[in-house]
Amino acid sequence: MNIRKILADSINEKIENINYEDLIVESISSDKGDYCLPCFSLAKILKKNPNQIALDLASNIKKSDYIEKVEVVQGYINFFLNIDRVSKDVLKEIMSSSAQTEGKGKVVCIDYGSPNLAKYLHIGHLKTLIIGESLCRLFEMFGYTVKRLNFVGDYGTPFGKIIGGIQLFGSMQEVEKRGNDALQDYYVKFNQLEEKDEKYSQMARDIFKKIEQKDEKIYPMYKKIVEISLSDAIEKFKLLGVEFDDYRGEMYYNQFVPQLVERLKKLNLLTISQGAQIVDLSAYDMPPALILKSDGTTLYASRDLSASIIRYQNYKFDKMIYLTAVEQDLHFKQWFKVAQLMKGEYASMLEHVAYGRFSLPDGKISSRRGKQAVLVDLIDYVLAKAKDVIKDRKFEIENPIDVAKKVSRAVLNFSVLKVERGKDCVFDVEKAFSFEGETAPYMQYTYTRIESIIRKFNESFADAIDSDCDYKCFNIDAFAIVKMLNDFILDCKQALIKRDPSFVAKRVMDLCKAFNKFYTSTKVLLGEKAEINAKMYLLKVLKKVLKQGFDLICIDCLKEM
């Protein structure tokens, strides 16, 4: 229900090039109405005092079933809504609403995650994984077909170093037994040798050359390393509730670079600079895009360009979104510009979405795997903390391990999504487990409380029926929930437009706070039957929206906690 449009349409006097709907905002407090129209921006246009403008406009407002009264105060037109009528229509509309369809028939590919295989997932991966997954769910909510792509790092001399380490210090049997831990050990040991003698750098390059040539001895070792490392990464992704459709990475797309180079040559876009082949971007105030090194090896830009061409052929996407840290912004600007110069039909569909850093307070979490805590350390620590929190609850929980896993996942995911995408954030583990304040456990516990009230109601009364609801009983706290519920879809659309799930996270948190305030001020199961029905219908709609909101921000709903 578009309340702002209803209020804007009620104003009879129109002003050229002014859309009242864009000016109407929520009031800061209930004594100043539910919504208001500040008239200060109109003063310059109309050459009149803002308060006089407000009086003139308010004097000629159409009567509406949705408007209880209108007041003018110091340049504001304050609208007080009819709680009964607005509540009835809003709740009915949400409960009966069907799926959003604006993206029907359109394909969106989102590239996120992108770990370097044969290395531990680091803590920063949490941000790309959870923002990426949340964006995927937002697009799906609006009817888009979404393809989750993980451009894995399975290419380069680090694999030469790891295989060199295996040859010098270990065996493939040890790799199969210990997995990523063994790969990391060999990589570290080889780097230590390389620091003392540069001949090992050449050894790593030679081994990687054999990988590229599919040497009969080296290539199977490489393939096994990739298989083991990717399997380990997929396991960690699943712990966070994330799964991908496509794991093809740098090695796969590298085979298409020769075709890319030929195309660039035909378009006269390639030039030679110090032996390397580049696309000159000085006309666009950017450094050159490096396509091939002087020795003929490929670079990130050439592999990304090749991947974009193949992905468009495979998926015929309408939008291709790359989610990475803000530090890679120039890289994407460069090769996006090359794609435009190549006149690729998909070039205008490419989009880079950047995010800020994610870190931990120093010394909060130790690592069993090196100097710095990695993602698996964080996952293990948070799960152990969740188990302790659940154990200390005063009542029995039927499936405590499952609940602990869902709480720990929620804590991690919400720690990312509650902060605006572009901002850096520091994750304070101890505060994140509080059942008070803006935390995931607070929200999950709120949902369980709503579930409990609805169960009690169903045991004692008939189901809430919209035609038998007296919304006149709604107090300010109940109506605050109604207005927030009404804005939920708008918040989701804003999150999609801005590519920032924090808009949804904030609205979900606000709904939980509003419910707890309502629960404190209201005896939900007391009153006439029609009053109880109205309050329960409100909670059922709230539960529906919270469930959808939780899913969008990658948080599990719990029935007990």
Is residue 456 assigned to a domain? yes
DSSP H/E element including 246: none
As a whole number of Å, the CA-based R_g of the chain is 29
Q: What is residue 119's DSSP assignment?
A: S
| Tokens encoding 18 | 């002014």
3-state secondary structure at position 523 = coil
**pLDDT of 150 strictly over 50:** yes
Is residue 329 assigned to a domain? no
Q: Are 83 and 479 in contact (CB under 8 A)?
A: yes
Task: Reduce the secondary structure of 244-284 to three states and give it as a string.
Answer: CCECCCHHHHHCCHHHHHHHHHHCCCEEEECCEEEECCHHH
For the chain, the average pLDDT equals 93
Strand order in the sheet with 35-38: 25-26, 35-38, 76-81, 67-73
Pairwise CA distance, residues 514 & 194, whole Å: 59
Report pLDDT digits (tens) over 200-214: 999 999 999 999 999
Side-chain-side CA neighbours of 558 within 13 Å: the count stands at 27
Q: Are 328 and 354 in contact (CB under 8 A)?
A: yes
| Tokens encoding 5 | 């449009």
pLDDT band (50, 70, 90) for residue 367 = very low
State which of 47, 62, 81 marks the end of a domain. 81
Is residue 150 assigned to a domain? no
pLDDT band (50, 70, 90) for residue 397 = confident
Pairwise CA distance, residues 237 & 250, whole Å: 19
Residues 262-281: b if buried by 16+ CB within 10 A, e if exposed: eebeeeebbeeeeebbbbeb
Pairwise CA distance, residues 55 & 72, whole Å: 6
Backbone angles phi, psi at 383, to 5 degrees: -65, -45
Whether residues 383 and 423 fall in one domain = yes
Written as one string, the DSSP assignment of 197-236 is -THHHHHHHHHHHHHHTT-TTHHHHHHHHHHHHHHHHHHH
Whether residues 75 and 170 fall in one domain = no
pLDDT band (50, 70, 90) for residue 377 = confident
Lowest model confidence (mean pLDDT) among 346-355, 370-379, 507-516: 370-379
Report the pLDDT value the prediction gives residue 430, as an integer from 0 to 100.
Answer: 80
Report the pLDDT value the prediction gives residue 465, as an integer from 0 to 100.
Answer: 55
Whether residues 426 and 447 fall in one domain = no
Host domain of residue 32: 3-81
State which of 218, 239, 260 marks the end of a domain. 239
Report pLDDT digits (tens) over 20-50: 999 999 999 989 999 999 999 999 899 999 9
Residues 201-213: b if buried by 16+ CB within 10 A, e if exposed: bebbeebbebbbe
Pairwise CA distance, residues 323 & 351, whole Å: 9
Pairwise CA distance, residues 56 & 58, whole Å: 6
Report pLDDT digits (tens) over 104-126: 999 999 999 999 999 899 888 99
Is residue 192 assigned to a domain? yes
Whether residues 466 and 529 fall in one domain = yes
* Mean pLDDT in residue range 72-91: 97
**pLDDT of 223 strictly over 80:** yes
- Chain centroid offset of residue 30 CA: 32
Is residue 413 assigned to a domain? yes
State which of 62, 81, 100 marks the end of a domain. 81
Report pLDDT digits (tens) over 508-517: 999 999 999 9
Is residue 339 assigned to a domain? no
**pLDDT of 364 strictly over 80:** no
The overall longest dimension of the chain from CA atoms, in Å, is 88
pLDDT band (50, 70, 90) for residue 360 = confident
Whether residues 422 and 470 fall in one domain = no
Q: What is residue 464's DSSP assignment?
A: P
Q: Give me the helices (H) in 392-439, please.
A: 400-417, 429-432
Is residue 135 assigned to a domain? no
Pairwise CA distance, residues 300 & 335, whole Å: 9
* Mean pLDDT in residue range 260-288: 96
Q: Are 293 and 299 in contact (CB under 8 A)?
A: yes
pLDDT band (50, 70, 90) for residue 466 = low
Whether residues 448 and 548 fall in one domain = yes
- Note the residue count of the chain: 561
Q: Give me the helices (H) in 418-528, please.
A: 429-432, 440-460, 476-498, 502-521
Backbone angles phi, psi at 91, to 5 degrees: -65, -40
pLDDT band (50, 70, 90) for residue 521 = very high
Whether residues 418 and 464 fall in one domain = no
Total structural domains within the chain: 4
3-state secondary structure at position 25 = strand
Whether residues 170 and 205 fall in one domain = yes
Q: Are 263 and 305 in contact (CB under 8 A)?
A: no
Q: Are 123 and 375 in contact (CB under 8 A)?
A: yes
Whether residues 403 and 461 fall in one domain = no
Helical pair 375-391 and 400-417, crossing angle rounded to 10 deg:
130
User: 363 Cβ partners below 8 Å, 6+ apart?
Assistant: none
Q: What is residue 342's DSSP assignment?
A: T
Whether residues 456 and 421 fall in one domain = no
Report the pLDDT value the prediction gives residue 363, as an integer from 0 to 100.
Answer: 52
Report the pLDDT value the prediction gives residue 457, as an integer from 0 to 100.
Answer: 87
Whether residues 510 and 533 fall in one domain = yes
pLDDT band (50, 70, 90) for residue 426 = confident
**pLDDT of 541 strictly over 80:** yes
Whether residues 444 and 548 fall in one domain = yes
**pLDDT of 404 strictly over 70:** yes
Which CATH number goes with the domain that contains 21? 3.30.1360.70
Is residue 369 assigned to a domain? no
